[in-house]
Structure 1
Amino acid sequence: MIIAEEVQNDSQKKEFLEFPARLYKDDKNYIRPRNVDIEEVFNPERNKFFKNGACTRFLFKNGKNETVGKVAVFINRIYQQDQPTGGIGFFDCINSQETADFIFDHCKSWLRDRGMEAMDGPINFGERDKFWGLVIEGFIEPLYGMNYNFPYYKELFENYGFKIYFEQLCFSRPIFAEVSRVFTLMHARHSKNPDISARPMTKAHLEKFAKDFTEIYNKAWAAHGEGKRMEESKVLKMFKTMKPIINEHISWFVYEKDKPVAMWMNLPDTNQWFKYLNGKFGLWEKLKFLWIKKFRKNEKMIGLVFGVVPEWQRKGLEGYMIWEGTQHLRKHTDFKVTEMQWIGDFNPKMIKIAENLDTTVTRKLATYRYLFDRNKTFERHPEL
């Protein structure tokens, strides 16, 4: 017998955080997420998605009152799909199809009662840049903000009837690997243009780079992600939040005279530091973090955003920017490998750019969808 408990009190909230730590205690690749990052998702005062949605967490107990699973289930009214679609996330479960089916049935019932006709998962009650997707290949240490799970989770989802809505590809390459000759030729060509220059992002000028980031992002990406645009004030707030971990050698902007036309944003993989803190980030852990950050080399960086404004696309500017930045960071950092945040298989243009960097796919995640009407035709995410 399995019983569902809605997470309401402090004890239940703590168990929601502690259950995965017990479940993965023997998995050497598991890195426990920071408790604060998980809790912020479920805090209406910190998560803007509560303004247009609802979210509830559940624990699942067996007859001995032992936790055997957990999940968050939510609706987000600005998550526009062909049919009303809810979400499930933060799913963890013992290796039991019966238990997983009970959890999925519970989520389906909760969502149906709120007018939903399908559910996607595992996804986040928030943006796609964190806690999105199920690992189906490459069970290695997760990047900061990335989901991690046992290989058997794939069977739990697919045996229930979930189908892959889109795959999420993570590309990686060694920093000192040879750069594509095409990119070096692009760099040589644009280097002759006196109007073109590349500059690394610096902490002293975050306001300027926030403005430039916003301009490039909205020109390059406004047509993607259901037409989302970014506001300069929110970008600046994000940059200020990231300031303690910004490395001034690894994020690059390209300008035509003084006009921003391209960007390549990277950050150190903070999981290489956070993995020593066991999910906690109180005063003692913050001091420990600063010590680790200072004395323990971080050899992995994460590619966050790559963008070129439309008028400069397909002109080789990305080759100029990447080779300019790569030459610099090889001299001034300890990084040995870079891994890009995932690219959806619905975005062949970005996949092509990644492939041109002579990268390899190091991990693959999947966003699954389950249609409540089992007779309805399933369709994958449309290509951009």
Structure 2
Amino acid sequence: MPSAPAMVRCSACSTALPPEDPPTDHPLCATCTQTPWCDGCSQPATEQHLTVQDGVLCGDCITAWSLCGRCDRYTHDPQDTVGDGPVCDGCATDYSRCTDCWLLAQELRQLDNDTSVCAECALDYRACDECDQLIVGYADYCSDCTPSSSDHVHDYSYKPTPLFHGTGPVFLGLELELKTSGADCQDCALIATRKLGRLGYLKDDGSIGYGRGFEMVTHPMSYRYAIEQFPWDLLPQLEERGAYIDGDVGIHVHVSRAGFASPVHVYRWMKFFYRNESHITEVARRASDEWAAFAPQARAGIVDFAKGNDDYGLGNGGRYQAINTLPEHTFEVRIFASSLIPQQVQAALALIAASVEYTRTLTSTDITRRHGWEWTAFVTWLRAHPDYAPLLAELEDLACAS
């Protein structure tokens, strides 16, 4: 009896095949005949993976390839990206390369040195305060936006229409002089301008020198408005940026003439100031000098001034008196040393505002029987008026609250 023919199997999946006539070296079943062949191993790819070249790979051969994060096809030479994983060369054309990490990214941020970085690397840089471009180094502005101090500091004669802030009738105007290095002046000027907004402006001052600092001037403010609304954090910020004070710079405080009840009120206020020179100068942190003198002739001229005789400044001493009486609408108190410490500047404003209110109701009986001119009487009054807490705190710090 003839022997049965040998079983023929599919060379790809080993499925039994019916006898073939004629037989082939690599017989295939009907399923494998219709299955794409792997470009890697040249076998039918029952698990099919498309490549970026429109080829097919089987599950075994695909392990050496990477899936493109954009087109979902496999590539043998992937390009690494930020956030999207590897991509093929074709999809990589939609990306740009970060100059820091050298990965591809869909969006880059430009640096001020004409290079660009991805969002991750951008976190290592500071943005320009003006245009948001990233800055190489530690500056606040890119090379295109670096301000000139002249953009923010007006000349000495600048005098805009006053903007009144708060409720009168007593309004105060602060003039604070500060110095900077030439390199820091631009940054400090821009910081101050932005912080002050409509509350103030900056001016050149001949005693400081052009480009070496400026005078910060506020529009008229009520005392309460000044304490509550002035950007007091500006002062330490300026100091951190390089601003400083020395014996050549000071603080002037203007007080509105309209805030006084009568010429007698003005007389009492000036008299109180000049009678308490030692205490006033201690609070002011500055002794009488050629720029803010407690001159004897000025003290003697208070009576004449109250009567309307003051054509050349208190006691004919001109503007450089402790109280300059020449401005048309204000009295300018020139006695204070400059400061970038908020409490010291607040105390200067509080001293002027408190002394105006203290002398407003000061009577002859208060003066003759209750020692109303004396400093201790004023401090006692201060303790009963918590609005002037910065002044009282400064007096405590200076040990002159008695």
Per the TM superposition, whether the score is higher than 0.5 is no
Structure possessing the higher relative contact order (Cα contacts under 8 Å, 6 or more residues apart): 1
- TM-score (ref. length: structure 1): 0.26
Which of structures 1 and 2 has the bigger CA Rg? 2
The structure richer in strand per residue is 1
